[in-house]
A and B are shown apart, each in its own frame.
Chain A
Amino acid sequence: MAENPKSGSGSSILWTLLSFVWLALAGYAALFVAPTEKTMGVIQRIFYFHVPSFWTAFVAIGTTTYASIAYLKTRAPKWDWLAVSAAELGAVFLTIGLVTGPIWAKPVWGHWWVWDPRTTSTFVLWAMYVSYLLLRTLVEEPERRALLSSVVAVFACLDVPLVYFSIWWFRTLHPQPVIGDGGSLDPTMGKVLLLCWGAMVALFLLVVRQRYRLEKLRAEVDGLRMEAERRAS
């Protein structure tokens, strides 16, 4: 029943190495290969991590939603393990995005934070994920916790397009000086961006896998404890 430790760690060591190599390559590319942006200078390079972190967060959100629906249908605990793993990672990547934003914005545009469509929508998304994770800590029984958080995840997912649309339309009606990367993208920049995104997704998959295995092991320990209890009586 337990995963064969040897094969488990074999493939994950490979994946870990691969991810870190990829990340290193991406970092190098972002810092040295990509051309320096005309107006913003060196600080602009943070863009190569700022933007993909949101894209990765969306992958996480999609995963959590899919896993939540799968749980509601099948009630197999593995879907709940996947949902929480992806949600935690999603929250982390959103946080990275929300933190790198001001770091980039302050030297370039003079403000730490501005409520433009992207920041507002992302913040709302981040709040939804944090509240999902908080709810999980407040429900003790695993089956109940999985059920309730799955429903919340589905509702949150349904809300995402509505959040984006409403905020975008609001800004269309009340335009503000645009902050962000306007204009076309230099092809090299585009390639570096994709490379960085790839690295982040690799990292995402790596960490989700580990987190999933942690949940699985926890459930196995609980199962063993109950089995012992059953045998003892």
Chain B
Amino acid sequence: MSLGRATGLIFAKELRVELRSRELLSTTLVFVLLVLVLFSFTFDPSAMEARRFGPGLLWLAFLFAGSLMLQPSFVRERTNDTLSALRMAPVEPFAVLLGKLAANALFLFLVELILLPIFAALYDLAILPVLGRLVLVLFLGTVGLATTGTVFSAITAQARLRELMLPLLLFPVLAPVLIASTEATVGLLSEEPYLDSVWLVFLVVFDAIFLTAAWLFGEYLFEE
């Protein structure tokens, strides 16, 4: 079976399982909303400050959301040991990783898209003129977040204190993504919007490097 087809099957399964319960999407949405609102009235920024600091807070909120949302992906496979069932299927381990990664990226992306207008309203930022480019930045940053997050969640699922360990591992490694995404967003929301190509390329490079690393080292994650 080709990698693409296997990944697609697992991706579809992840989607179906999540859509059945919808618990992950809804709780994450509420959580990120809360974070954004709390930030908003704790800092109560002026217009210029909002343009400067808002994006940072937004991405921070996404980072928090990610570290919560990525946890269940592999932990869920432990309840009925379905991970063993996946490992015994005649598909390459990377397909399992990729399928989950894609599903995680999609869920995170959905949450971000829903929260974007709320964020714009709270901080009084004009996102419509730059919507397309903003969504691109969101997408690239989310792929980076989902890639590292999925790999690390496979690791922490096998450790104790996993809820604490995942953010601890994830945040330092994702610092570059946080910086790049935030800066790109700031550029798009400034008075004269521009898309910083350096940050864009950087995000693409980050995503490529870590996707490749996941491909090369992924199989070690599932060994017993």
B191 within 8 A of A: no
B17 within 8 A of A: no
A169 within 8 A of B: yes
Report A91 CB to chain B, min CB distance, Å. Answer: 12
Q: Is the CB of A166 within 8 A of B210?
A: no
Give me the 10 closest cross-chain CB pairs, A-B, nearest first: A127-B172, A166-B176, A138-B159, A128-B172, A162-B176, A131-B168, A138-B160, A166-B179, A124-B175, A131-B169
Please give, as numbers and ranges, the residues of chain A lying within 8 Å of B210 by CB-CB distance. 155, 158
Cβ contacts B170-210/A at 8 Å (1 or 0 each): 01110110011001000000000000001100100110011
Q: How far is A148 from B157 in the complex, measured between Cα atoms in Å? A: 11
B85 within 8 A of A: no
Q: Is the CB of A156 within 8 A of B173?
A: yes
Q: How far is A128 from B171 in the complex, measured between Cα atoms in Å? A: 9
Q: How far is A124 from B174 in the complex, measured between Cα atoms in Å? A: 10
- A to B CB contacts below 8 Å, 30 in the list: A72-B217, A128-B172, A132-B169, A135-B156, A135-B159, A138-B159, A138-B165, A139-B158, A144-B158, A148-B159, A150-B220, A151-B151, A151-B220, A152-B152, A152-B169, A154-B217, A155-B148, A155-B152, A158-B209, A158-B210, A158-B213, A162-B176, A162-B205, A162-B206, A163-B175, A165-B202, A166-B179, A169-B199, A169-B202, A173-B183
Q: How far is A169 from B202 in the complex, measured between Cα atoms in Å? A: 10
Please give, as numbers and ranges, the residues of chain B lying within 8 Å of A125 by CB-CB distance. 172
A147 within 8 A of B: yes
B212's nearest neighbour on chain A, judged by CB, is A158
Q: How far is A173 from B198 in the complex, measured between Cα atoms in Å? A: 11
Please give, as numbers and ranges, the residues of chain B lying within 8 Å of A138 by CB-CB distance. 159-161, 165
Please give, as numbers and ranges, the residues of chain A lying within 8 Å of B221 by CB-CB distance. 148, 151
A220 within 8 A of B: no
Number of residues on chain A facing chain B (CB within 8 A): 31
A159 within 8 A of B: yes
Binding site for A on B (CB under 8 A): 148, 151-152, 155-156, 158-161, 165, 168-169, 171-173, 175-176, 179-180, 183, 198-199, 202, 205-206, 209-210, 213, 217, 220-221, 223
B interface: dominant SS: helix
Report A142 CB to chain B, min CB distance, Å. Answer: 13
Report A136 CB to chain B, min CB distance, Å. Answer: 9
B168's nearest neighbour on chain A, judged by CB, is A131
Cβ contacts A143-180/B at 8 Å (1 or 0 each): 01001101110111011001101110110010000000
Q: Which of B155, B168, B209 is close to A151, meaning CB atoms less than 8 Å apart?
A: B155
Please give, as numbers and ranges, the residues of chain B lying within 8 Å of A140 by CB-CB distance. 160
Please give, as numbers and ranges, the residues of chain B lying within 8 Å of A163 by CB-CB distance. 175-176
Max chain B Cβ within 10 angstroms of own Cβ: one of A127, A140, A148, A170 = A148
Q: How far is A132 from B172 in the complex, measured between Cα atoms in Å? A: 11
Please give, as numbers and ranges, the residues of chain B lying within 8 Å of A132 by CB-CB distance. 169
Please give, as numbers and ranges, the residues of chain B lying within 8 Å of A144 by CB-CB distance. 158
Report A114 CB to chain B, min CB distance, Å. Answer: 17
Please give, as numbers and ranges, the residues of chain A lying within 8 Å of B179 by CB-CB distance. 166-167, 170
B221's nearest neighbour on chain A, judged by CB, is A151
Report B81 CB to chain A, min CB distance, Å. Answer: 16
Please give, as numbers and ranges, the residues of chain A lying within 8 Å of B152 by CB-CB distance. 152, 155
Please give, as numbers and ranges, the residues of chain A lying within 8 Å of B151 by CB-CB distance. 151, 155
B209's nearest neighbour on chain A, judged by CB, is A158
A21 within 8 A of B: no
A121's nearest neighbour on chain B, judged by CB, is B175
Q: How far is A139 from B221 in the complex, measured between Cα atoms in Å? A: 13
Report A138 CB to chain B, min CB distance, Å. Answer: 4
Max chain A Cβ within 10 angstroms of own Cβ: one of B160, B176, B198 = B176
Q: How far is A167 from B205 in the complex, measured between Cα atoms in Å? A: 15
Report A139 CB to chain B, min CB distance, Å. Answer: 5
Q: Is the CB of B159 within 8 A of A128?
A: no
Q: Is the CB of A159 within 8 A of B176?
A: yes
Q: How far is A148 from B173 in the complex, measured between Cα atoms in Å? A: 16
Since A147-B223, A170-B179 are in contact, a sample of 6 more A-B pairs with Cβ atoms closer than 8 Å, ordered by chain A residue number, is: A127-B171, A134-B165, A135-B169, A140-B160, A151-B220, A158-B210
With contact pairs A154-B217, A155-B148, A158-B213 given, residues A124 and B172 touching in the complex (Cβ less than 8 Å)? yes
With contact pairs A148-B158, A166-B202, A170-B183 given, residues A72 and B213 touching in the complex (Cβ less than 8 Å)? no
